[in-house]
């Protein structure tokens, strides 16, 4: 494992997002997210780790849809962490990622209440993977049982694998070596992932953009997800 400290960051360009939900599907496939069925989804129990929020702007007839993909913001000062009584969620000082330990979680759901981004999802029942979805479970990711909290991990398994590959090939981890499933699948390239600790990376440059902002910045949670939203010029 490389000695250098990473600061994994995702940049989400709202001016590019078309709301196609490809990232939601890719994420579900990568992370063994169970399918819960229409009734449960209607009740508000969808398990997706990414949520494409849709807001309407303007007055008729000049109405326009705006999309905000919301994932776990991997906050530096995460409100979910101190409230967990058993340390099932804690901060990784190496990756600057908010870690969820499935085996330790006892299901108080306190973290989910205290997340201002409503980014966490709960396993209300044991997971179901109807045929043929059971054939494509990702062996790198734990399947969670009932009563456990889960959320976006920045595809930590992909970060680990990229680090191991780089170490095996005796080279430093390059920009773009780590790609979470959502980033890989985004056709509009609205999502960019990388290490801001590396000043030459793509994200490091995008973060300095004038269009950059963070969701609910005023709460002081210091998210590691940066949004870009600028201007009228980019979208029609």
What residues line the site for other proteins (CB under 8 A)?
A: 40, 43-46, 51, 53-55, 68, 70, 79, 82-87, 104-110, 112-114, 116-118, 121-126, 146-149, 216, 219
Cβ closer to other proteins: 128 or 209?
A: 128
| Residue with Cβ nearer other proteins (84 or 152) | 84
Return d(Cα 173, Cα 165) in angstroms, integer: 9
Question: CB 64 → other proteins: shortest distance, Å?
Answer: 16
Least Å distance between CB 104 and other proteins? 7
Residue 30 and residue 219 in contact, taking contact as beta carbons nearer than 8 Å: no
* Residue 4 Cα distances to 54, 106, 209, 213, angstroms: 38, 34, 25, 26
Q: Which residue(s) pair with 52 in the sheet? A: 69
The answer to whether residues 152 and 27 touch, using CB atoms and an 8 Å cutoff, is yes
**Minimum CB distance to other proteins, residue 169 (Å):** 35
Task: Please state whether beta strands 149-150 and 121-122 pair in parallel, antiparallel, or not at all (unpaired).
Answer: antiparallel
Quote the least distance from Cβ 86 to other proteins, whole Å. 5
Residue 100, phi then psi, degrees to nearest 5: -115, 120
Q: Choose between 4 and 54: whose C-beta lies nearer to other proteins.
A: 54
Nearer to other proteins, 29 or 46 (CB): 46
Question: Judged by CB, which is closer to other proteins: 166, or 219?
Answer: 219
- CB 12 → other proteins: shortest distance, Å? 15
Contact 51, 33 (CB under 8 A): no
């Amino acid at each position: 494992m490389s000695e250098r400290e990473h600061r994994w960051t995702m940049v989400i360009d709202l001016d590019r997002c078309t709301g196609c939900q490809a990232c939601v599907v890719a994420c579900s496939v990568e992370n063994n997210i169970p399918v819960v069925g229409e009734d449960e989804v209607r009740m508000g129990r969808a398990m997706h780790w990414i949520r494409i929020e849709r807001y309407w702007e303007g007055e008729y007839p000049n109405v326009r849809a705006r999309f905000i993909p919301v994932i776990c913001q991997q906050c530096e000062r995460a409100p979910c962490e101190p409230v967990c009584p058993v340390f099932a969620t804690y901060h990784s000082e190496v990756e600057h990622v908010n870690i969820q330990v499935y085996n330790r979680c006892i299901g108080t759901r306190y973290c989910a209440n205290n997340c201002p981004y409503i980014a966490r999802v709960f396993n209300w029942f044991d997971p179901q993977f109807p045929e043929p979805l059971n054939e494509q479970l990702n062996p790198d990711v734990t399947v969670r049982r009932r009563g456990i909290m889960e959320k976006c991990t920045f595809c930590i398994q992909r970060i680990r694998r990229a680090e191991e590959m780089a170490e095996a090939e005796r080279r430093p981890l390059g920009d773009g070596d780590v790609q979470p499933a959502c980033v890989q699948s985004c056709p509009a390239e609205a999502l960019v992932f990388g290490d801001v600790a590396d000043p030459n990376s793509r994200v490091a440059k995008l973060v300095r953009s004038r269009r950059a902002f963070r969701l609910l910045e005023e709460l002081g949670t210091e998210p590691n997800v940066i949004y870009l939203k600028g201007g009228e010029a980019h979208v029609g």
